[in-house]
Structures are given as structure tokens and as C-alpha cells.
Structure 1
Amino acid sequence: MTAARSLPADGHPSPPEPGLTADEVVARAERIAAGLVDRQQETEERGYYGLETHNELLNAGFYRLLVPRRYGGYEFGLDTYLRVVTALAAGCPSTAWMYTFGASHAHVAASLFGEAAQDELFAGGDFICPATVGPVGFAERAEDGGWIVDGVHRYSSGSPYATHFIGHTLVAGGEGEPPAPMLFVVPRDQWERLDDWGAQLGLKGSGSHSVKIDHAHIPAHFALPGTHMGVTSVVEGTPGFALHGNPLYGGGVLSMIQFQVGALAVGMASGALEAYGRLMLDRTTIYPPIVPRAEDPDFQLHYGEAAGRIAAARAALTDAVRQWHETAERGSAAFTREVDLKLSLISSEALRLAWSAVADHLFPTAGSSAVRTGERIERIWRDMSTLHSHGGVSVFLAKLAGRELAAEVFGLAHP
């Protein structure tokens, strides 16, 4: 398990708990997750987790896990961070989704932006920054060399308690050239969260509201060419590694983002398996011989099949994260687009295994009363179903990543 690496620079703050360990961070996530189950209904009705949960995550230091130590963060590795996400997802998928897609973009900011931008972005220590990938509108040059951006950016998971927002837009190309994507970051006081989330099938409490930006002015150092998933490459080094000296901020951003989907799926499926296990102890079969489900060979088989698939998913994701760290340790040049795509696809397979455990074994055999609205297995099934509608899963991982990997391997133009 990766612990914090670098020391705070002179004149910069220490984290609130300088001696906090990775094991304690994960233990805190497990304790918090146990209390999330009873809040799921109110979280769904509200559309995001409440202040009580937010303060628990805040006080546990979870909004600083990937923030550099230079800025009062903990700078833990991806392995520790993703174990936290998995633990939270076992308690409440919506809460884990909202948390990770707000907190994880500290890694994007700390890897890709320069020192001037990071000094401003991380000034508060805690960092919550939803991000979207699809470009919205066109950016215009400001007189001071900065940019004017606007538009409505949908599905901005993590927005209710956010400190910033990362979006994408287009800038005009040269004569005869198509427009090019641009990544930008906007502080919270320059955008509005719309009240438009909660009517979906699942993940109703994930805080995935739209962000509305009305001609916000951002300085030039708050914008970067490309996107954090598609165009941005780290093979020539990153500002984050140069600034912090930690390979955590020199590795592939694409695969790190995709790891979250795998971690969420493993956590959700683990929560479903736990609930199914309780049903096996509490309920009996409906056809003779009438015995506790735990004694019935068919229920034993379904439980075992699901448990094996979830364990395999967890193992695959764990090894993918290990490969990520080992590759980053070799230097940014080793983190080619091909490597980034291969690691991303491992996360996709972890998701596939976790989903099959729930969809093929746990949900259909739990019984009708166990899948009524609001029951835990029913909610997890809805949440995992909705996970598959996410663009990163249904479009990028399901279609684009595999084709692009093949093109990379065979030296072909990207499809």
C-alpha cells in the first residue's frame, strides 16, 4: 500500500494529521460506510449526500487524499484512495460516486497544471472538483490573454460541495483547421449548480447535477490544450512530477480515471453480496425441503459464484493499480498511451465481473421481496445498471478504448 511520498515545501502547510496512515484511512472508510446504508433513502431523495456525511468525509481527511503534501494534502497512492472508494461504495453507491468524482480530480489538477495554477487551486487544502469530458460551446480570448468560457455542463458528479469545476470547451483552429478541445478549471464562485438531478433509474443521490457557467473569465494558466482523457499525454513528463517529485503525479491520467469505475463496481457488488448473505441466514427456501437458504445447495452455488467473480474483479483491479504505480516509478516516458489503455481495459473487465455477479446470481435469486423499491439489493442493481449508461463506460471503455489500443499496437491511425 502506497503511503505519502514527499515532504511539504518551506512555507507550505502540513496536513491536519501528519501521522495519518493508509491503514487508518481505509479503516475510517469502512466505519463510515457502515453508517451510510441507513441514509441511502434520504440521499436519493435529496439528490446528494447530506451535510452529516460531507462532514464525516471532511473530518476523515478524504478530500485531501490525493492533494499534494505541499498544499496540506496527504498525497496517498492510488491504491489507498481506491480502497476508500470501494469501501464507501459497499455502503452507499451514490455517496461513493459523488465522493470520488469530486475528490479524484485533485490528481488531474496536481499532475497536469503548473505551479501557479496549483498554488491557487489547492490554497484551501480540501479539493472537490467535478469534471466532464464532452466539450461545451466555444471559448473566447480575453484581453489579458485568459479565456471567457460559458455553457451548461451536464452530469457534473460531485458538484453539491465542490470547490472547483473542470470542464472542456472548443477553441477555434487555424484557417481550414477544425476546432480543438481545451480543458479548463473554474472556481466555485464562477458557476451555478442547477437543480436537475435525481430522476434517473439509479445513482439518484450521486450529486450529478449540471453546472452552468455564464461567461466566466479564467486566467490563461487555468486552461490546457486537449482533454484529461483523450489527448493529454504524460510521456514527456508532467508539471506535477517536476513540482512534487512524486511519480504519483507523473503517471497516466486516463487509466486513473477509469480505475474509479472498477472500484465503484467492486464496492457495489460487495455490498450486494453482504446483503445476499444475510438473506441466506434469515430466510428459507420456498420449495421442500424447507431449510435455511444457507443450507441449500443452489443458494450456496449462487453465493459462491458471485463471491468468486467479485474476488476476481478486486484482484484484477488491485493488480492494475500495482502496474500503474510500477510504471509511474519508471518515469513518465514509460507511461505510453498503449499502457494507459491496457490498464483502463483491466478496470473494464473488473466492472464486467462485478456486474455479472449481481445481474446473473444475486439479483435474480434474492427473491421478489428482496428487490422491492428501497431494498438494498434492488438499489444496488439500479445503481449498477445506471453505471453502465455513463459515457466513460458505455462509449469509451465499451467501444473506443479497445479500437484505439489495437491501433496503437499496430501503428495505425486512431479510429
Structure 2
Amino acid sequence: MIAAPEPGLSARDMVERAVALRSALRERQAETEQLTHYPKTTHEDFLRAGFYRILQPRRYGGYEFGLPVFLRVVTETARGCPSTGWALSLTAAHVLQVASVFGARAQDEIFGPDGDFRAASTVAPVGIARPDGTGHVVLDGTWPYSSGAPYSTHYVGQTLTAPEKPGDPPGPPVLFVAPRPAWTVVDDWHGVLGLRGSGSNSVRLDQARIPEYLTLRATLLDLPVEGGSTGSALHGNPMYAGRAPSFFHSELAAVMIGIAYAAADEYARILPTRPLTLDPGRTRAGLDDYQRHLGEALGMIGTAEAALRRTAEDWMETCHRNAVGDAPFTTAEDNRLALTFLNAGRLAWDVLQRILFRTAGSRHARDGERMQRYFRDAATYWTHVGPSMAEPLAHRVGRDRLGLPSDDIPLIP
């Protein structure tokens, strides 16, 4: 057992710490973009606050606060700095999958003596896992878009099983956890439109050898959790018996809602500073139209956040029913939850681009303006593989409701 740094820390304390950091993160936005990852000062803030351990099992020095608390911290962090919120979420989140499906021997090694764990990942499999005959596999390849890689202690990646004989196609997917000495960060996160400070670098494994017990015949899109999981039994917590795709969509939605709130904060700051062209003694803050724009935006963002919070509770309840044997966490349930999370993120994007950015004024679309940064970051979210799943998820949910098979509809082209 590894004791948490602050055993008495409450969920409310955790969220309040995220709120308290918002101003500092906002001031570090430009520096974060320049570095292409959040600065060491922010990393140290997160270590002290315990943000990396929110979902981590208590057995390994974590807090096990659950998905609703995690998403609130991500939303508040993204409200301070979208790139930082994105990177925090996509490194502090993968502990959930590791703790869900890997055995005790693997988890003992992964979490080590102090529970220090942060893991970047990416959804696409790369390369082949080749057994070397000594109980290890050899991994070679470059895994792109590994958000949060610069501060990660591990890499959660996907590859393919080696073919049984030469000329055969590769076998099923393999999920692996590679410790930090096994891989390097490629300096290639440059020239992107948004999320410039998210540290979404590629990760390179060059003939890296890792123990076979740090690999699993599984994929992040279909973890073996129905009826409970290795992790839910090991940790006595149903949270570790949940499917990953809906969980991943919750992360993206939390970031987008944080960005939308950040844009609304900036909009409220801008209005009293913008004199009217024909009446410079007054500002836009006194005009009904702009008051209504802001109110409409806040109402829609609040709706998106309400959907996020309620669906996070639904996700936790679905995990519980699965672990105790009341009802399995099926792909149909996963599809339903994922689509609701995705719609919350889409609503936040719609608010930002249709109301806040459009009516803020062209001067706030210039380089260095926060409103421009929020638009760039949100637009980059819109190009992510997650939002591209909207149509196949809707198709799946419709077929699920009609009692028709839906697993044959690919989520990723």
C-alpha cells in the first residue's frame, strides 16, 4: 500500500484548488504556447494539488474521487488555460484504464514505490509487438499526438500482435504500458493551429524491451470489463469496470466546456472596454444585444456542463451495475454515454464560434488576444478524432435502440 500525499483531502478541496489556480494558468497561457507544453511551475502546482492522482487507486497513493470530480477539475483547468487542461486530462486519465485491466503484478511495478504516475497515449496502434523469447516484447515505432508526453512517467500505447509466420498479417491489438526510460519525446509539436501548449508530441520507442506482463491482448476501444474487471476486484471500486470510449469523450467535453467558459470570461472583460463607435462615452456593456449575447452563451454553456455532470454520474452508475452483476456495461451503453458527452462538447463549440467569437470584434481575433487563442483551441478540438465520431455514434445509438447490431459500424475511419 502507498499512502496518498494528503489522506484527508476531500473532493471539494480538490475542485477548489483547481478554481484557485485558474488566474495563474490564465497568465501563463502565452508561455505555455511558446514552450509547446505547460511550464514546470504548473507541473509543480499540479503535483502539490494532487491533480494527477484524482482517479488513481488508493492502494497506490491515489484518491479515487471518481469521474465527476475529475471532470470538474479538468473544466476549471481548461478555463484557465485550454492547452494545460487538455494535457492534464490526457495524462491524468489513463491511470483509469491501467488500473482497470492490468493485473496486480503489473500495477505494483507500474505505480512503483511512490505512486508517481502520468501517462500520455494515443488511440491508433503503431508497429508490432515482437516476443524476444525472454519474457519480453520488443516495440519499435513512433506514436503521434501523445498529449502531455513531456511530463509523463509512462506511455500507454497500442500496437499489433506479431504474425504467426512470415507473410501473415499482424494479429490482434496489444495494449502496453512502457516506463519512461523505454521511450523518448520527439520535438515535433509545432506549427499547429490550436492547443499549441498541450505537449502533444510524438513518442518514439526504438527497439524497446518491456516485460510481457506489461502488455495485454486488448484495445482501448474495447476493454474487457463486462461483469466486472481485474481492477474492480483488486481495488474494490466499480469505477475500474467502465468502458473507455465514453470516458474519453467525457474528457474532451470537459475541456471544451472549460474553453467556452474562458471565452465567456473574456467576453465579459471585453464589453466594458469597447466604446461605441458613434457614442464613445458608452460601451458595449450597456447595449441590450451584447448583454443578451453573453446571457445566451452562459445559459448554453451551463446546459452543456449540466449534461456533462449528469452523464458522468450515469457513467459511474453504469460501472456499479456492471461490477455488482445487475447489468453489464455493454457497447450499447458505451455508445449512449459517449454520444451525450460528445453533444455537450459540440454545444460548447457552437456557443464559442457562433456567439462569443463572432460578436467579440475583429480586434480580438489578432495574435496575442485570448479570444483568438480560445477560438484556435476550440477549432483544433473540432478536428480531433473524438468529434469525428459523432455520425457513427449516432448511427450506432439508433441501431441499438432498434435492437439491431451496431458493432459493425466503425467509430474511426
Instruction: Identify the residue that residue 223 of structure 2 maps to in structure 1.
Output: 232
Give the secondary-structure state (helix, strand or coil) at the position aligned to 1:391.
coil
Give 1:289 deviation, angstroms: 8.9
1:411 matched to 2:404? The reply is: yes
Runs of 4+ aligned structure 1 residues displaced above 4 Å come to 173-178, 287-290
Instruction: Identify the residue that residue 183 of structure 1 maps to in structure 2.
Output: 175
Letter of the 1:191 partner, please give it: W
User: 1:102–1:158: 8 Å Cα contact kept in structure 2?
Assistant: yes
1:49 matched to 2:38? The reply is: yes
Instruction: Identify the residue that residue 193 of structure 1 maps to in structure 2.
Output: 185
CA distance in structure 1 between the aligned counterparts of 2:276 and 2:175, rounded to whole angstroms: 56
Q: With the length of structure 2 as denominator, give the TM-score of the two structures.
A: 0.93
User: 2:227–2:322: 8 Å Cα contact kept in structure 1?
Assistant: no
Query: 1:299-332, CA deviations, whole angstroms, 9 ceiling, x for partnerless residues?
Result: 1121122111101100111110011111222224
Give 1:408 deviation, angstroms: 4.0
Give 1:172 deviation, angstroms: 3.8
CA distance in structure 1 between the aligned counterparts of 2:307 and 2:73, rounded to whole angstroms: 17
User: 1:48–1:204: 8 Å Cα contact kept in structure 2?
Assistant: yes
1:367 matched to 2:361? The reply is: yes
Letter of the 1:63 partner, please give it: Y
The size of the alignment, in residue pairs, is: 401
Instruction: Identify the residue that residue 13 of structure 2 maps to in structure 1.
Output: 24
Letter of the 1:126 partner, please give it: D
CA distance in structure 2 between the aligned counterparts of 1:334 and 1:236, rounded to whole angstroms: 6
1:344 matched to 2:338? The reply is: yes
Instruction: Identify the residue that residue 134 of structure 1 maps to in structure 2.
Output: 124
Instruction: Identify the residue that residue 3 of structure 1 maps to in structure 2.
Output: none
Give the secondary-structure state (helix, strand or coil) at the position aligned to 1:195.
coil
Instruction: Identify the residue that residue 275 of structure 2 maps to in structure 1.
Output: 284
Q: How does 1:36-115 map to 2 (within 5 A)?
A: 36-115=25-104
Give 1:116 deviation, angstroms: 0.8
CA-based RMSD: 1.7
Give 1:236 deviation, angstroms: 3.1
CA distance in structure 2 between the aligned counterparts of 1:309 and 1:97, rounded to whole angstroms: 21
CA distance in structure 1 between the aligned counterparts of 2:278 and 2:328, rounded to whole angstroms: 59
Query: 1:34-84, CA deviations, whole angstroms, 9 ceiling, x for partnerless residues?
Result: 101111111101100111110000111111111100011111111111100
Instruction: Identify the residue that residue 353 of structure 1 maps to in structure 2.
Output: 347
User: 1:137–1:170: 8 Å Cα contact kept in structure 2?
Assistant: yes
Instruction: Identify the residue that residue 247 of structure 1 maps to in structure 2.
Output: 238
Give the alignment partner of residue 154 of structure 2, picking from 151, 159, 164.
164
CA distance in structure 2 between the aligned counterparts of 1:289 and 1:54, rounded to whole angstroms: 44
Instruction: Identify the residue that residue 334 of structure 1 maps to in structure 2.
Output: 328
CA distance in structure 2 between the aligned counterparts of 1:43 and 1:361, rounded to whole angstroms: 27
Give 1:219 deviation, angstroms: 1.3
Question: Between the two proteins, what is the percent identity of the paired residues?
Answer: 44
CA distance in structure 2 between the aligned counterparts of 1:260 and 1:28, rounded to whole angstroms: 19
User: 2:101–2:224: 8 Å Cα contact kept in structure 1?
Assistant: no
Give 1:226 deviation, angstroms: 2.5
Give the secondary-structure state (helix, strand or coil) at the position aligned to 2:209.
strand
1:152 matched to 2:142? The reply is: yes
Give the alignment partner of residue 378 of structure 1, picking from 354, 372, 375.
372
1:143 matched to 2:133? The reply is: yes
Query: 1:79-131, CA deviations, whole angstroms, 9 ceiling, x for partnerless residues?
Result: 11110000000010011111111111111111111111111111231211001
User: 1:153–1:212: 8 Å Cα contact kept in structure 2?
Assistant: yes
User: 2:223–2:243: 8 Å Cα contact kept in structure 1?
Assistant: no
CA distance in structure 1 between the aligned counterparts of 2:142 and 2:155, rounded to whole angstroms: 12
CA distance in structure 1 between the aligned counterparts of 2:227 and 2:348, rounded to whole angstroms: 35
User: 1:86–1:264: 8 Å Cα contact kept in structure 2?
Assistant: yes
Q: Which deviates the most, 331-340 or 306-315?
A: 331-340
Instruction: Identify the residue that residue 258 of structure 2 maps to in structure 1.
Output: 267
User: 1:407–1:414: 8 Å Cα contact kept in structure 2?
Assistant: no
Query: 1:323-379, CA deviations, whole angstroms, 9 ceiling, x for partnerless residues?
Result: 111122222443111111111111111111101111001101111222211111110
1:314 matched to 2:308? The reply is: no
CA distance in structure 1 between the aligned counterparts of 2:396 and 2:333, rounded to whole angstroms: 12
CA distance in structure 1 between the aligned counterparts of 2:314 and 2:222, rounded to whole angstroms: 22
User: 2:145–2:200: 8 Å Cα contact kept in structure 1?
Assistant: yes
Q: Which deviates the most, 275-284 or 404-413?
A: 404-413
Instruction: Identify the residue that residue 6 of structure 1 maps to in structure 2.
Output: none
Q: With the length of structure 1 as denominator, give the TM-score of the two structures.
A: 0.93
Residues 136/371 of structure 1: CA separation in 2 closer, same or farther (3 Å cut): same
Instruction: Identify the residue that residue 393 of structure 2 maps to in structure 1.
Output: 401
Q: Runs of 5+ in structure 1 lacking a partner? A: 1-11
Give the secondary-structure state (helix, strand or coil) at the position aligned to 1:215.
strand
Query: 1:240-297, CA deviations, whole angstroms, 9 ceiling, x for partnerless residues?
Result: 1010001111122221111000000000000000110111222233345963222211
Give 1:177 deviation, angstroms: 6.8
